[in-house]
Amino acid sequence: MLGNSSSATEFFLLGFPGSQEVRHILFVTFFFLYAVTVMGNTVIIITVCVSKHLQSPMYFLLGHLSVLEVLITSTAVPFMLWGLLLPNTQIISLAACAAQLYLYLSLGTLESALLGVMATDRYVAMCNPLRYNIIMNKQSTCICVVIVSWVFGFLSEIWPVYAIFQLTFCKSNVLDHFYCDRGQLLKVSCEDTLFTEFILFLMAIFIIIGPLIPTIVSYTYIISTILKIPSASGRRKAFSTCASHFTYVVIGFGSCLFLYVKPKQTQAAEYNRVVSLLVLVVTPFLNPFIFTLRNDKFIQAFGDVLKCCYQLLKS
């Protein structure tokens, strides 16, 4: 605990409660998920960059999403694993805490924007296929949209993080989380955070609901188009792909809505910890499976890349 006259210069993260055996089980589980996440998304990135058959807007956006997933999960998971393996070592400086929070929020904002763009891309492909190559031109539309998303993601979170770290953290230097969660930071501040929380709430609505609206509209039109397919097998195949993508979107947006679109950011730390795992561990882990396992074109391209690698090693 800190005195009212001093402010914390470092924080101790409690991480996960439980015995050492439980923590070791969590370490093995999260390490496996993290390793698969990094390897799976790296495979997507390399395959999209190398394969000539995947040079289309859909795979261009998927490659950027995979880059984001690796970056997002790497902002907190390695430090979390270190804390699980070696208890009482999760001490983070104020500057490192600010950097971690900024990267996490910026990349999360960018991912929300990119998911909205990907949903729009699928809408154009399904509902307006004849004009798809004109509307979603990779050399102009896609590159511009991705650049705008990256700039928006990193600029939009400057003020929120700055405002939080202008506060005085004098109640405690202990955060009941496995990373520098802004709700926990607001909780240990000894200042009145009501106005800051209200502004953060309004910004969260704009940042999350903004991309969510075109996503919902796009999937509504996509489902309507699928229902018009005369072949039952065609409808099943289309619904299968759409359901996989939609599951990913629901987990991603649903988690962010729960975490940030609420007036009081300091409530329910135990639930926030679980939902944060969905954002930082589960959705990055699911990305390679959802977007590639049922994609015959990607599997074929990946097979071609493996053959090329084998021939290079053989020669």
Q: What is the pLDDT of residue 97?
A: 95
**Is residue 82 a contact partner of residue 30, using CB atoms and an 8 Å limit?**
no
For residue 283, being part of any structural domain is answered with yes
Q: CA dist 267 to 114, 180, 181, 314, Å?
A: 29, 15, 12, 58
For residue 2, being part of any structural domain is answered with no
Higher pLDDT, 16 or 101: 101
Q: How much is the average pLDDT of 23-29?
A: 93
* Helix%, strand%, coil% for the chain, nearest 5: 75, 5, 20
The tokens for 142 are 């896609």
For residue 4, being part of any structural domain is answered with no
Helices 94-127 and 143-156 pack at an angle, to 10 degrees, of 150
- Residue 296, SS3 per DSSP: helix
For residue 66, being part of any structural domain is answered with yes
pLDDT at 176 over 80: yes
Q: Please give the model's pTM, rounded to 2 decimal places.
A: 0.89
For residue 1, being part of any structural domain is answered with no
Dihedral over Cα of 96, 98, 101, 106: its sign:
negative
Q: What is the rounded distance in angstroms from the CA atom of residue 124 to the CA atom of residue 142?
A: 13
Q: What is the rounded distance in angstroms from the CA atom of residue 120 to the CA atom of residue 123?
A: 5
Quick one: which H or E segment has residue 13?
A: strand 10-13
Q: What is the rounded distance in angstroms from the CA atom of residue 289 to the CA atom of residue 69?
A: 13
Percentage of residues of the chain with pLDDT beyond 70: 93
The torsion angles phi and psi of 248, rounded to 5 degrees, stand at -60, -45
DSSP string of 112-150, one letter each residue: HHHHHHHHHHHHHHHH-GGGHHHHT-IIIIIHHHHHHHH
Higher pLDDT, 8 or 3: 8
CA 187 to chain centroid: 24
pLDDT digits over 274-295, tens only? 889 989 999 999 988 888 877 7
For residue 14, being part of any structural domain is answered with yes
- Residue 28, SS3 per DSSP: helix
For residue 91, list its beta bridge partners. Answer: 12
Identify the top-confidence range among 60-74, 118-132, 201-215, 286-300. 60-74
Q: What is the rounded distance in angstroms from the CA atom of residue 114 to the CA atom of residue 110?
A: 6
Supply the mean pLDDT for the chain.
Answer: 86
Q: Find the radius of gyration of the CA atoms of the chain.
A: 21
| Domain count for the chain | 1
* Residue ranges making up the domain that contains 63: 10-314
CATH for 102: 1.20.1070.10
For residue 34, being part of any structural domain is answered with yes
For residue 3, being part of any structural domain is answered with no
Output b/e per residue, 59-73; b: 16+ Cβ within 10 A. Answer: bbbbbbbbbbbbbbb
pLDDT at 78 over 90: yes
The tokens for 257 are 């809505």
The tokens for 190 are 């000894």
Q: CA dist 223 to 109, 214, 244, 246, Å?
A: 26, 14, 13, 11
The length of the chain, given as a count of residues: 315
Name the least confident of 127-136, 157-166, 204-213, 255-264: 255-264
